[in-house]
Chains A and B, each alone.
Chain A
Amino acid sequence: MNRFYFISIFFHTVIIGSALFINRSNSRPLPEFKVYKVRLAPLPQPKIQNSREAAETIKKSSPKKEKSPPLKKSRKKKKRVKKKQKKVKEKVKAGLPDIKPRIMTGSGRGFTYSYYLNIMLNKINYNWHNPYKGRDVGLKAVVYFEVSKDGTIYDVRIEEGSGDDLYNEMAIRAITSTKKLPPLPREFANDYLKVHLEFLTAR
């Protein structure tokens, strides 16, 4: 009986070994993961909306929304952005090869859920189109926004302009078109999360 066990063990090692060998020879390099540098910045005091107002803005279909003045502004902004974006797309096509923009964020104090930040940054990065992609322009814009418990983004505004209107609009656009994030971690005590997101052009 013993000798058959040895044969069987030998057989298994050969099969597992060959499986490992085949894997190694066929191994494709894994796609590189983007590394986001997360910086906890000292917070300038933003205007904190009441939760009621926030709720109003979240309900987009409700008639209340039209009454509130800040939303009208944002709509106008969106229209402007759309107009500009068309122009920008044409420019980008003609531009130099892309350099991926680095997004840096400063989040609220005590928010330690890095996986959530990663998801958020991934989503926003998907919608972020740098108008000066590949060009040697150094710009920095900080956008402030709040995320409610169910993950809705509201109160998007420029906190620190880059000095370039197109760039600012595109930064806001990146966040407003993200619209919905996953709900905040249940353990996070606050009703909403304040985010200060830095948009930096890469050199």
Chain B
Amino acid sequence: MNIFKIFMESSITAQIIMIVLIIFSIWSWAIFFKKLFEFARFKSRARHFLSTYRLYNSISELNNLGHLLNNNAYGRILRNGLEEFKKLRLINIHNPNSPDAEKKEKTTAELSDNIRLVMERAKISELSELESSLPILGTFVSVSPFLGLLGTVWGVMEAFFDIRARGSAHITIVAPGISDALITTVYGLMVAIPALIFYNIFRTRVNRHSGEIDRFINEVFVRLRKALITGQQ
């Protein structure tokens, strides 16, 4: 069984389907390598950021994280939170001894939810970046077996047309057509199975990272809210 020989001997329809499937395969593996690289980068940068972030005790120091606030997802989320925090604090600073101080404090507490919302928004954009190209993988998973099946059904149909044309259903006439036809299903499955594995791997990773980011957001939110209400620097 020579893959190349079977490819050359099969009908034009089967060849087109096989070429499309090979393109799918190359594409899905490219996505796999790309995602593998991206997730590895994400993980290493996140680890670096979190290990340094825990060393900073006050909010004002957090502004000094520098490039760490820009080059990873956690940093970008924190930066968004800090920006919102500054905006909210400005309201308090401009009116430090206003007559209705109690009322102000109340509104500050209410507005502190904004910090959370801003960070949630940043999280969504970060996750969408992580999830990019996963829908393509999902499409390959579902489409390529069907495409292979189409090639097979087409080949079987041709084999039966041959039987009709020759008026004989001997196995020597039918078998080559059907064996050629089955190769497209093999190709389809060879594309779909790795793609499904990649899809599940990355889907799980995205979910895990999403959970971790949620935990981080809560941690930061608690810190910033406390600082906002108590006026701590």
User: Given A4-B30, A7-B30, A186 and B167 touching (CB < 8 A)?
Assistant: yes
B101 at interface (Cβ–Cβ under 8 A)?
A: no
Quick check: B26 and A5 within 8 Å, CB to CB?
yes
Quick check: A8 and B26 within 8 Å, CB to CB?
yes
Quick check: B33 and A7 within 8 Å, CB to CB?
yes
B206 CB to closest chain A CB (Å) equals 18
Residue of B nearest to A12 (CB): B26
Residue of A nearest to B22 (CB): A12
Determine the distance from Cα of A187 to Cα of B30 in the docked complex, in whole angstroms.
Answer: 53
Contact stretch, chosen from A15-23, A46-54, A126-134: A15-23
Residues of B within 8 A of A9 (CB): 26
A183 at interface (Cβ–Cβ under 8 A)?
A: yes
Determine the distance from Cα of A39 to Cα of B204 in the docked complex, in whole angstroms.
Answer: 70
B29 at interface (Cβ–Cβ under 8 A)?
A: yes
A35 at interface (Cβ–Cβ under 8 A)?
A: no
User: Given A23-B3, A115-B173, A8 and B30 touching (CB < 8 A)?
Assistant: yes
B107 at interface (Cβ–Cβ under 8 A)?
A: no
- For B18-38 the 0/1 string (1 means CB < 8 A from A) is 000010011101111110010
- Residues of B contacting A: mostly: helix
B22 CB to closest chain A CB (Å) equals 7
Determine the distance from Cα of A119 to Cα of B173 in the docked complex, in whole angstroms.
Answer: 10
Quick check: A116 and B168 within 8 Å, CB to CB?
yes
Residues of A within 8 A of B97 (CB): none
Residues of B within 8 A of A11 (CB): 29, 33
- For A176-190 the 0/1 string (1 means CB < 8 A from B) is 000000111111000
A94 at interface (Cβ–Cβ under 8 A)?
A: no
Interface residue from A4, A5, A16, A185 paired with B166 (Cβ < 8 Å): A185
Residue of A nearest to B38 (CB): A4
Residue of B nearest to A7 (CB): B33
Contact residues of A between 73 and 121, Cβ < 8 Å to B: 113, 115-116, 119
Residue of B nearest to A27 (CB): B2
Interface residue from B25, B167, B173 paired with A183 (Cβ < 8 Å): B167
Determine the distance from Cα of A113 to Cα of B32 in the docked complex, in whole angstroms.
Answer: 53
Quick check: B33 and A4 within 8 Å, CB to CB?
yes
B191 CB to closest chain A CB (Å) equals 11
B87 at interface (Cβ–Cβ under 8 A)?
A: no
Residues of B within 8 A of A115 (CB): 166, 168, 172-173
B1 at interface (Cβ–Cβ under 8 A)?
A: yes
Quick check: B3 and A182 within 8 Å, CB to CB?
no
Determine the distance from Cα of A5 to Cα of B37 in the docked complex, in whole angstroms.
Answer: 13
Residue of B nearest to A2 (CB): B30
Contact residues of B between 1 and 52, Cβ < 8 Å to A: 1-4, 22, 25-27, 29-34, 37
Residues of A within 8 A of B33 (CB): 4, 7-8, 11
Quick check: B29 and A23 within 8 Å, CB to CB?
no
Quick check: A119 and B22 within 8 Å, CB to CB?
no
Determine the distance from Cα of A4 to Cα of B25 in the docked complex, in whole angstroms.
Answer: 13
Residues of A within 8 A of B167 (CB): 183-187
Quick check: A1 and B1 within 8 Å, CB to CB?
no
Quick check: B1 and A23 within 8 Å, CB to CB?
yes
Residues of A within 8 A of B173 (CB): 115
Which of A8, A20, A27, A184 neighbours the largest number of chain B CB atoms within 10 Å of its CB? A8
- 6 residue pairs of the A-B complex, CB under 8 angstroms, read A8-B27, A20-B2, A23-B3, A115-B168, A182-B169, A186-B166
The 10 A-B residue pairs whose C-beta atoms are closest, nearest first, are A186-B167, A8-B30, A8-B29, A4-B34, A4-B30, A4-B33, A5-B30, A185-B167, A182-B168, A8-B26
